[in-house]
Structure 1
Amino acid sequence: METLPLDDAATFALLLSGETQGVFQLESDGMRKLITRLKPDCFEDLIAILALYRPGPLESGMADMFCRRKHGEEPIVYPHPSTEQILKDTYGCIVYQEQVMLISNNLANFSLNEADNLRKAMGKKKPEIMERFSTTFLEGAQKNGCERSVAQDVWDNMVKFGGYGFNKSHSTAYALISYQTAYLKAHHRADFMAANLTCEMGDSDKVKLLCDDARGAGIAILPPAIESSNWGFETEGKGIRFGMGAVKGTGSKAIEALVDAREAVANAGLPPTLNELCRQADPSAVGRVAWEALIKAGAFDAGGHNRGAVLHTLGAALADGARAAEDRRAGQGDLFALAQATGEAVREEARDGIDDRQAWDSADTLRAEYEAIGFYLSGHPLEDRAGLMAMLSTVPTNELERLSDGAQVSLAGLIVGLSQVLVKTGKLAGRKMARFRLEDLHGAVNVICFPRTFEECAGDLEDGAVVVARGKLETDGEEPTLILSELMTVEAALGRFEGSVVLSLTPEDTALLPRIKQILSEHRGKRHVYLQVTGTDGSVRRVRAGGDCTVTITAELTSEVDKVLGRGRMKLARL
C-alpha cells in the first residue's frame, strides 16, 4: 500500500463521482458535497479537503473561498509576497496551523517556539494573549521592511482563518488512508465492499448503505445461503454473498457451529437441509432464535420451499436434532454412518416434513426478511407501486438534496424505524412526538413529527405503513430532514387529488393503446385522462382522451398501467 502511485486517475475519478461510501473519512453527505464542489485532482487537494471539512472552515467561508480560487472563480491573492510559497498549494488560503507558524517565522522573525505558541493561542482565541502576539508580529514584520498597514492585513488574515487551521501532518496522515481506501474501491471494488460489509455487520443501516452502493455499481448482493455463506461477506463470482453474521440473532458461536455441521453433512454425502443440519449442529451453540432468523433471511431458499413453510417445520427439526444430540452423548452410534447406509430413505425423510401449504405471501416474506436483517434484500414492498409512489412525491428521496432549505414537499413511502418519545421539558412537556425514516425505492429521509402533528396523525403512524408525508424540508444539516405537517394514507391522498391523469406515450406505443383503453374502462370515475405524445422529432402534443374516458385513481390502476407502459409513464397533473 505504501508504494501506490498518488496520482492514479481511476482513484480521482471515483472521488469526483462522489461514490465514497466505505472510503475513510469521506463517507458523509456533507463531505461528498464538498468533494464534488472542490473536485480534487491531486493528493494535496485531498489533504486540504480533510482540513476544510470542519465547522470553522465551513462556517467562516474558508472552504467556499478555497473552491472558488481553485476553479478560477476568484483571483488568488497572497497577503504578502513572502507568503506565496507558504500558501501556494492552498490558493492563498490559510488552511493549516503550520502555515501560521511559517508566516510568523518568515515575515516577523518569530522563533519556532514562539510560532508554536502563537498557533496554540490562535486555537484558544484568548484576546489578551493575542494582543501581545499582535504587537510582536507587527514589530517583527516592520523590521523586515514590511509596511505596518500590510503587516496588519497579514495579521488580520491569520487571526480570521488561522484559528480554524488544522494540523497538516494529521490531515496528511488521514488523507493517505483516505486515498488508499479510495484506490482499493476504484480497482478492487467487490472485494473492498465485501470487507467493508464484514466490518460493519453489527449496523444494519450501514450494511444497507453499503449494499445499495455496491448494487449501484453493478455488484449483485447475493442472499445468505446455508450451503455457501460464512460468517462474513465474501465475493462470489461477480457478486457478494451475504454473511450469516449480519443476520440478527445469530452470533459467531452459532455460525461457527453451523459451518462445522455443514461440513459434516457434506462429508456424509447429504444435502444441507434444515433437518440434516439440526441433527448435526450442537443445539447448545445454535438456538431456535438463530435458526428462525436464518430462515427468515432466506438462507434455506435453495431447497425450493417457501420460507414460511420451512419455518413451520422448525419445531420438528429441532426436536429431531435434540434426539440426535442425546444419542451422540449416550454413545448410540454414528448418525451419519446410518444416513450413508440408508441413503435415499433419509433424504426422503428430510423432505417430508415441509408442508408448502404453510407458505407466506410476498408481504409476509418481506416483513420477516426485514426483521431478520434490518432491511429489504430480495425485494421491496413498494416495487409493485413504484409508479404510484412517484406520482404522489415531489421528488424521490435521493434528489432531496437539490431542493432549497424550507421547501414544501410531498413524499410517498414506507415508515421504518418508528420511535415515539415523551417531551420532557418546555411548553410541550408531557406530549408525545415521533421520529421515523420514510423509505422509497431510491433511499430514505429522516422525518420529525412534533406533538401537534403527532396528535393529528397518530392513527396512521405505524412501522411498515405506506403513507404520503407532507412538510417542510430542512437541508442545512448533514442530511435532509422532513419536518412533518401532515400524514395520510395513499388512498386518502388519491381521494383528495383534484387533477387529471396524464399518460406519456411515444409513436412506438400505438400497439399498446387497445390494452390501455381496456384498463381505463375498468377503472371508471371522475378524473379526465390526457395522452401526452412525444414525436420522433422531439415535439410534444397533449390531447384529452376521447369519449367518456374518465377514471378513478387507485393503486390498482397505476400498477396495471405500469405493467403495460413501464414505470413512470402515468402522472398526475392539475389541468
Structure 2
Amino acid sequence: MFENSSQMEDLLIYQIPPEWRGQAKVHTLYPPIPKHTGNIDFDIFNFEMLFNDPATKELIRSGKTIGCFYIESPGMRSLLRRLDVETFEMLTAASSVIRPGVAESGMMQEFIARHKDPSLRKYLVPEMEIYLGETYGVMIYQEDVIKVAHHIAGLSLEDADLLRRAMSGKMRSHQAMQRIVDKFFISCKEKGLTDYQSKELWRQIESFAGYSFCKAHSASFALLSYQVAFLKAHYPAEFMASVLNNGGGFYSPAVYVEESKRLGLKIELPSVNESEKEYAGKGRTIRVGLKAIKNLSYNAIEKIVVERKHNGNYVSLADFLVRTKLGCEETALLIKCGAMGCFKQTRPTLLRLLDIYIHRRKIIEESYNDLFLSETFALEEEVKTDLNYSLAGICKEEYEAFGYMVTRHPLYFFKEWIEQKGIVSAKDMLQNKGRKVKMIGWYMTSKRIKTKSGEIMKFLSLEDLTGTFEAVIFPKVYYRVAELTLSLGPYLVTGRVDTNDHTNLVVDNLKVLSSTVLQSSLMKDSVEHNYYGDEEKITEEDFALAKALDHKKLKIAYVG
C-alpha cells in the first residue's frame, strides 16, 4: 500500500492548501458584514493575521465561544479554559481530544495534565516521544494509531493502516480483525516490549480509535472555529444575528439572545417599519427579524417587507391594514409582540382599533385615501388608552411570539431569591474556587450520561444575569433530584466550585424555585411546552417507563 515510511508520513502532515489564500474573502464567507460595517480590510484566510489576533485568542482561551461552530458546547468551552487554548495547533488538538474515544479512555485528562505540567510528560515507550511528542505521548488522532502500530509495535505500514481502519469500524470480518490483533502482540514481543507495555498500548488504541478524528479533519474544524471566533470577537452583532438566522446550533435561540446581551448588544423587538425577514445585526444592536414571530406566515412577511420597500414606512395601523390586507389574527400577533410599537400607541389601544377596523369598518375591503386617513386618526384618539400590559404580560407575549424574552431575562422575576445574602453569581465563581456556594440558574440545555460503572449522571447548563455555569450532578445526588431536573427551573443549586474549571459547580443539592408573578402569567405546566431554553430530551422509552411506574418509582426510572 505504501512504498516507504516517508510516503506514509507525508500523509500525516496537515497543511492548509496555499491556493485558499486570497481566494475566499469574508464577503463570501459572511455576507452581512460588508453591507453594514464598510471598510472591510481583512481576509478571513489570512492565517498570520487570524491566528495572531489578540481578541480572538482571548475569546477562545476564556471559552466565550457560544455560537462558534464546533467549540460552543459546554464540554468544549470547559476544555478550552482548562488547556488555555489560544493557538491553532492547540485548538486542533482540543477538537480531537474532546471526542468520545479519547475522553472515555482517560487520555483526555492525561493530555490536560501533561499540557499543564511538563514533569508529567512520561512516555510508555521512550521512542514514543519522537512520534507523539507534539501531543505529550497521548494518542489523539487516527494517524497516531498508525504511528504507534508501525514505529513502536513494529507492524508494517499496510497492517498499521488496516488496524486503523478496523478500529474505525471499517473491517467487518471478525477473523481478519483477530489476525491483526495477533500480529500486533507478536510484533510487540519481537520489538522487545514488555507484556505491560503491549497491553497498555493496545488498551489505548482499542478504547479511542473508533471515535477519533484524523488530524486533517480536526484541523479543518479548528480552522472554521477560529474564523467564526474572529467574527464574534470583532463583529458580534452581525455574527450573533447570523447564528440566530441559521436556526441556532447546540443551543436554542433563547440562549443566543442572552449571549448577545452578555456581549453588550442591544436586542430590539421586531418592527413592521424596521425589520426584514431575518435577524439583522449592525454596530451594537440586533433587530429581531419578522421570521422569529411564531405563526406569522411567510406570505405575510413578504407582504410587509415588499410593500414597505415600494411605498415607504407605515404611518398607522389603518395604513398598515389597507396596504398589506393582512388578516386579524396575524396583525394581532404583530401588535402583541411589540412589532407595531413604531405607531406610538399602547398595545391595548391597537387591539381595540384592530377590532373596529376589521369587524366594523371592513377596512381591508376599502381603498386608501387621505379623507379616510384623517378619519382613522380621529378614531384613534377616541379609543386611545394609556393602560398597557404589565411587565410580566409583555414578557409573556414575547415568549409566546419568539420562544424567548427580549425585555427582561426570566430571572428578573426571581429578584427576591437572587438578591438574598449568600447567593453567588456566575461572574464570581472564579474567586470562589473550591468553596461551597449557593447559586441560582436558568435552564439552557442538559445532557445525561452513563458512568463507567453504568450509573446515570447529568450535566445541567445554567445561566444567571451575569454569565453561564455548568451544574455537574453525579449519580448519588442525581438519584435524589432526577425528577426535579425535568423542570425548566429556575434552580437553586448548592455545591462546590470545581478547582479545575471554575465554571463547573459540583452539585450537593438542587431545588426548583417558584414565583407568584411567573406562576400566574408565564409558567407552563408541561415540560413539553418549553418556556425558555432547550427542551429536555425525553425518549419514548422514558415515557413508557413513566406510564408503567407509580410516582414513587418514577425517580428510579429516570436514574436508570
Give the TM-score normalised by structure 2.
Answer: 0.66
Report if aligned partners of 1:227, 1:262 keep a CA contact under 8 Å in 2: yes
- Calculate the aligned-residue CA RMSD, in Å: 4.6
**Are 1:183 and 2:241 an aligned pair?**
no
Q: What amino acid does structure 2 have at the position aligned with 1:3?
A: F
Report if aligned partners of 2:185, 2:198 keep a CA contact under 8 Å in 1: no
Q: Which residue of 2 aligns with 1:423?
A: none
Q: Which residue of 2 aligns with 1:197?
A: 244
Cα shift readout 1:521-568 (whole Å, capped 9, x = no counterpart): xxxxxxxxxxxxxxxxxxxxxxxxxxxxxxxxxxxxxxxxxxxxxxxx
CA change 1:209–1:275 in 2 (3 A) is same
Give the Cα separation in 2 of the matches to 1:55 and 1:48. 14
Report if aligned partners of 2:346, 2:385 keep a CA contact under 8 Å in 1: yes
The gaps in structure 1 that reach 5 residues or longer are: 328-334, 418-435, 492-575
Report if aligned partners of 2:244, 2:253 keep a CA contact under 8 Å in 1: yes
Q: Which residue of 2 aligns with 1:428?
A: none
Q: What amino acid does structure 2 have at the position aligned with 1:390?
A: E
Q: What amino acid does structure 1 have at the position aligned with 2:295?
A: G
* Distance apart, 1:180 and its partner CA: 2.0
**Matching of residues 253-272 of structure 1 within 5 Å:** 253-266=299-312, 271-272=314-315
Q: Which residue of 2 aligns with 1:495?
A: none
Give the Cα separation in 2 of the matches to 1:365 and 1:292. 14
Report if aligned partners of 2:426, 2:466 keep a CA contact under 8 Å in 1: yes
Q: What amino acid does structure 1 have at the position aligned with 2:52?
A: D
**Are 1:244 and 2:290 an aligned pair?**
yes
* Distance apart, 1:104 and its partner CA: 2.0
**Are 1:278 and 2:307 an aligned pair?**
no
Report if aligned partners of 1:265, 1:277 keep a CA contact under 8 Å in 2: no
Higher relative contact order (CA 8 A, sep 6+): 2
* Distance apart, 1:127 and its partner CA: 9.7
What percent of counterpart residues are identical?
Answer: 27
Q: Which residue of 1 aligns with 2:332?
A: 292
* Distance apart, 1:462 and its partner CA: 11
* Distance apart, 1:378 and its partner CA: 1.6
Cα shift readout 1:393-415 (whole Å, capped 9, x = no counterpart): 7434677899999979574x889
* Distance apart, 1:357 and its partner CA: 4.6
Give the Cα separation in 2 of the matches to 1:315 and 1:11. 52
**Are 1:361 and 2:429 an aligned pair?**
no
Question: Pick from 305, 311, 316: which aligns with 2:351?
Answer: 311
Report if aligned partners of 2:429, 2:497 keep a CA contact under 8 Å in 1: no
**Are 1:8 and 2:52 an aligned pair?**
yes
Report if aligned partners of 1:95, 1:162 keep a CA contact under 8 Å in 2: no
Report if aligned partners of 1:469, 1:486 keep a CA contact under 8 Å in 2: yes
Q: Which residue of 2 aligns with 1:47?
A: 92
Q: Which residue of 2 aligns with 1:218?
A: 264
Cα shift readout 1:313-346 (whole Å, capped 9, x = no counterpart): 222233478543x35xxxxxxx34x23xx49725
Q: Please give the secondary structure, in 2, of the residue aligned with 1:275.
A: helix
Q: Please give the secondary structure, in 1, of the residue aligned with 2:408.
A: coil
Question: Pick from 77, 83, 99: which aligns with 1:32?
Answer: 77
Give the Cα separation in 2 of the matches to 1:233 and 1:403. 38
Q: What amino acid does structure 2 have at the position aligned with 1:225?
A: S
Give the Cα separation in 1 of the matches to 2:254 and 2:261. 10
CA change 1:261–1:446 in 2 (3 A) is farther
Question: Pick from 399, 404, 407: which aligns with 1:370?
Answer: 399
* Distance apart, 1:120 and its partner CA: 3.5
Give the Cα separation in 1 of the matches to 2:107 and 2:356. 67
* Distance apart, 1:216 and its partner CA: 1.6
Cα shift readout 1:423-482 (whole Å, capped 9, x = no counterpart): xxxxxxxxxxxxx99985447899999999999x9xxx999xx98857789999999889
The gaps in structure 2 that reach 5 residues or longer are: 1-23, 25-43, 446-459, 518-560
Report if aligned partners of 2:97, 2:103 keep a CA contact under 8 Å in 1: yes
Report if aligned partners of 1:80, 1:154 keep a CA contact under 8 Å in 2: no
Bigger radius of gyration among the two: 1
Cα shift readout 1:243-300 (whole Å, capped 9, x = no counterpart): 111122213222111112333552xxx74322211111133xxx43332222222111
Report if aligned partners of 1:22, 1:196 keep a CA contact under 8 Å in 2: yes
Q: Please give the secondary structure, in 1, of the residue aligned with 2:120.
A: coil
Give the TM-score normalised by structure 1.
Answer: 0.64
CA change 1:317–1:441 in 2 (3 A) is farther
More strand by share: 1
**Matching of residues 166-565 of structure 1 within 5 Å:** 166-168=212-214, 169-200=216-247, 206-266=252-312, 271-283=314-326, 287-319=327-359, 322-324=362-364, 326-327=365-366, 335-336=367-368, 338-339=369-370, 342=371, 345=374, 348-349=377-378, 351-352=380-381, 354-380=383-409, 383=412, 386=415, 388-391=417-420, 394-396=423-425, 409=438, 411=440, 441-442=465-466
**Are 1:160 and 2:204 an aligned pair?**
yes
Q: Which residue of 1 aligns with 2:148?
A: 103
Which 10-residue stretch deviates more, 358-367 or 390-399? 390-399
CA change 1:53–1:295 in 2 (3 A) is same
Q: What amino acid does structure 1 have at the position aligned with 2:332?
A: E
Aligned length: 445
Which 10-residue stretch deviates more, 116-125 or 302-311? 116-125
